[in-house]
């Protein structure tokens, strides 16, 4: 099973390290008894730099207890931004992954200095702005791809030239059969091609003005107030293990206040659900808290496809799943998970099934969104998809613990 390794970052402790070392032992503890494949272990680079002063991100190795060299990534998301004395201040986390077997309660790794330059590891996550397709923003990992829509798509067709116009902050799904990146390949093939499965997968999901798979809005108890297309974008980290990016949305009126939203996406290899941290900020008016709705489109099937949809709300997990049967395109599971401390129930409007969550102005709200396709081979039944989502929720509530020693 798997959830988003990023949400499972867990607790982090470090033994006192007063002298320079050539290697560090990393012990990761797991409280769950079930299997947890593709867990991302995250260690602040500052701690690596303190234990191994002068360590260079391209001159280290990460090995498991059997001595196997593991792919790794160092992000550059630390707030300091600059590091003239090479103390690791410009970097965020050292990331690598481990597959916890059922019953495996701990795993040990070694991070060591290396004289040789480390290899370039295959990229399993990717995101980019796509100005050539009316300002789409697209992202993917080895399991599934997504896109959402930017300013050019929302702009009027002036003068009348037949430009597509769509105003929506919904999130799209691109179903994949393959583990390698497809976003650039599919855009290069042209718009019509990726609506047909030519062996790698297809765009078989409808968004329109709905929330798509995981778009948000503000819920007033009866209706949903939503943003327009994203306004700005920023890629923060881009693989090989984790991709992080942000989308911002202009203010819109919702329940007597005006709010803006910034979405930070964390996309990790090996997972069908992405972590999203949405920060809603009230810019006009006052409210003690906001009720945010995260939606799944009620009618997501591809054009010309009959559909049968089964919806499964699970309040104990803060989760909502859909199982969509299409005539020839296969079976598609979609899901939203809201941590129980923020979960406020379920609702619906004419376009969307909704999961409700409480949010405070200026503070991030974390939730998880994603999909799984039967033709990719992993989720061929509704039960398999629902079991996966339930396991994701358990992993979210049981983070890993990471400890460093010399």
pLDDT tens digits, residue range 24-45? 999 999 999 999 999 999 999 9
The CATH number given to 126-396 is 2.70.98
pLDDT > 90: what percent of the chain?
85
Nearest residue to 336 (alpha-carbon basis) of 303, 312, 306: 312
Strands across the sheet with 60-64, in order?
A: 11-14, 401-405, 23-29, 106-113, 60-64
**Rounded-to-integer distance, Cα 346 and Cα 356, Å:** 6
Sort strands 401-405 and 11-14 into parallel, antiparallel or unpaired.
parallel
Sketch the domain layout of the chain as residue ranges: 5-118+398-405, 126-396
Between the CA of residue 84 and those of 22, 88, 303, what are the distances in Å?
22, 9, 55
Q: Is residue 15 pLDDT above 50, yes or no?
A: no
- Banded model confidence at residue 17, pLDDT cuts 50, 70, 90: very low
Task: Say yes or no to pLDDT of 8 above 50.
Answer: no
Task: Find out whether the peptide bond into 240 is cis, omega within 30 degrees of 0.
Answer: yes
Tokens of 199: 């062996």
Q: Within the chain, what is the greatest distance between any pair of CA atoms? A: 69
Among residues 346, 350, 236, the alpha carbon closest in space to that of 291 is found at: 346
What is the rounded CA–CA span in Å between residue 201 and residue 236?
Answer: 27
5-118+398-405 folds as Immunoglobulin-like (2.60.40)
Residue 391: phi and psi, rounded to 5, are -65, -35
313-348: per-residue pLDDT in tens? 999 999 999 999 999 999 999 999 999 999 999 999
Six-digit token string for 72: 């790794």
Please give the model's pTM, rounded to 2 decimal places: 0.93
pLDDT of residue 159: 82
* Percentage, residues of the chain above pLDDT 70: 92
Distance in angstroms (rounded) separating the CA atoms of residues 262 and 260: 7
Q: Which long-range contacts (CB under 8 A, 24 or more apart) does 61-67 make?
A: 61/111, 61/112, 61/114, 61/118, 62/94, 62/96, 62/109, 62/110, 62/111, 63/109, 63/110, 63/112, 64/98, 64/107, 64/108, 64/109, 65/107, 65/108, 65/109
The 10s digit of each residue's pLDDT in 218-265 is: 999 999 999 999 999 999 999 999 999 999 999 999 988 999 999 999
Q: Taking a C-beta distance cutoff of 8 angstroms, is the pair 96, 71 a contact?
A: yes
Element (DSSP H or E) covering residue 335 = strand 330-337
Could you give the CA distance from residue 131 to residue 150 in angstroms, rounded to a whole number? 9
Sign, CA dihedral 267-314-149-272, equals positive
């Amino acid at each position: 099973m798997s959830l988003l390794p990023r949400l499972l970052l867990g607790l982090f402790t470090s033994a006192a390290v007063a002298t320079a070392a050539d290697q560090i032992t990393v012990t990761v503890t797991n409280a769950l008894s079930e299997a947890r494949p593709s867990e991302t272990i995250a260690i602040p680079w500052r701690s690596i730099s303190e234990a191994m002063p002068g360590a260079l991100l391209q001159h280290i190795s990460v090995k498991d207890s059997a001595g196997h060299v593991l792919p790794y990534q160092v992000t550059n998301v630390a707030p300091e931004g600059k590091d003239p004395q090479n103390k690791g201040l410009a970097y965020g986390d050292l990331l690598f992954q481990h597959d916890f077997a059922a019953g495996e309660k701990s795993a040990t790794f070694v991070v060591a200095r290396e004289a040789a330059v480390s290899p370039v590891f295959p990229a399993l996550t990717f995101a980019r702005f796509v100005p050539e397709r009316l300002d789409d923003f697209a992202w993917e990992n080895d399991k599934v791809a997504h896109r959402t829509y930017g300013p050019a798509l929302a702009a009027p067709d002036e003068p009348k030239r037949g430009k597509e116009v769509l105003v929506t902050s919904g999130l799209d799904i691109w179903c994949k059969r393959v583990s390698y990146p497809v976003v650039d390949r599919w855009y290069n093939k042209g718009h019509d091609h990726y609506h047909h499965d030519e062996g790698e997968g297809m765009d078989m999901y409808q968004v329109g003005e709905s929330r798509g798979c995981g778009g948000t809005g503000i819920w007033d108890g009866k209706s949903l107030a939503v943003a327009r297309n994203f306004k700005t974008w920023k890629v923060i980290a881009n693989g090989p293990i984790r991709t992080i990016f942000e989308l911002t949305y202009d203010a819109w009126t919702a329940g007597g206040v005006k709010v803006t939203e910034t979405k930070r996406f964390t996309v990790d290899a090996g997972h069908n659900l992405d972590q999203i941290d949405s920060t809603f900020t009230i810019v006009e008016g006052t409210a003690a808290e906001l009720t945010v709705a995260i939606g799944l489109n009620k009618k997501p099937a591809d054009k010309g496809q009959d559909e049968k949809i089964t919806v499964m709300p699970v309040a104990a997990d803060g989760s909502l799943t859909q199982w969509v049967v299409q005539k020839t395109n296969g079976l598609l599971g979609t899901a939203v998970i809201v941590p129980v401390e923020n979960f406020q129930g379920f609702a619906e409007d004419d376009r969307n099934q909704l999961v409700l969550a409480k949010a405070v102005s200026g503070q991030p709200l974390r939730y998880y969104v994603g999909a799984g396709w039967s033709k990719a081979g992993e989720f061929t039944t509704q039960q398999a998809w629902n079991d996966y989502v339930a396991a994701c929720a358990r992993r979210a509530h049981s983070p890993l613990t990471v400890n460093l020693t010399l």
